[in-house]
């Protein structure tokens, strides 16, 4: 199977796993739901965790899948404005180790979204993406 088809097959399985899990509070879909041929642009949603200022919110995440996925992490950026020290209030860029040097091919889109959800519960102000928010 050509490499591109292997990536598409894996992403299809990962999206199906997200769709089956209705309790985690995270979802991922192709950006253009009419196109199952291009799975390199996805949109994720994260439910705000209970007991946090984000509870009750739904946060959209742009997901770009690189050509070397799963050996390189997906590129994720909050589309919804989030006031959080590890998220740029200007661009939505996210400071999270598994989206950088701690990524492993064993991780999935779902585990990355769950990690973002956990980040909303436990900010890391010592490693801020947004220094202004970290000072607050």
Tokens of 56: 């009750």
Contact, 79 vs 87, CB < 8 A?
no
Q: Which residues contact 12 (CB under 8 A, 6 or more apart)?
A: 36, 39
Q: Is 121 a catalytic residue?
A: no
- Per annotation, catalytic residue among 18, 34, 95, 121: 95
The sign of the dihedral angle between the CA atoms of 26, 9, 93, 119 is positive
* Active site amino acids: 95
């Amino acid at each position: 199977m050509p490499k591109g088809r292997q990536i598409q097959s894996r992403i299809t399985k990962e999206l199906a796993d997200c769709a089956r899990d209705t309790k985690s509070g995270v979802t991922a879909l192709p950006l253009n739901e009419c196109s199952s041929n291009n799975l390199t642009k996805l949109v994720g949603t994260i439910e705000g965790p209970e007991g946090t200022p984000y509870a009750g919110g739904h946060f959209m995440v742009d997901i770009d899948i690189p050509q070397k996925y799963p050996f390189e992490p997906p590129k994720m950026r909050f589309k919804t404005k989030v006031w959080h020290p590890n998220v740029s209030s200007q661009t939505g860029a996210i400071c999270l180790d598994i989206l950088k040097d701690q990524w492993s091919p064993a991780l999935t889109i779902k585990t990355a979204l769950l990690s973002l959800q956990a980040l909303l519960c436990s900010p890391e102000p010592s490693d801020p993406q947004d220094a202004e928010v970290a000072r607050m």
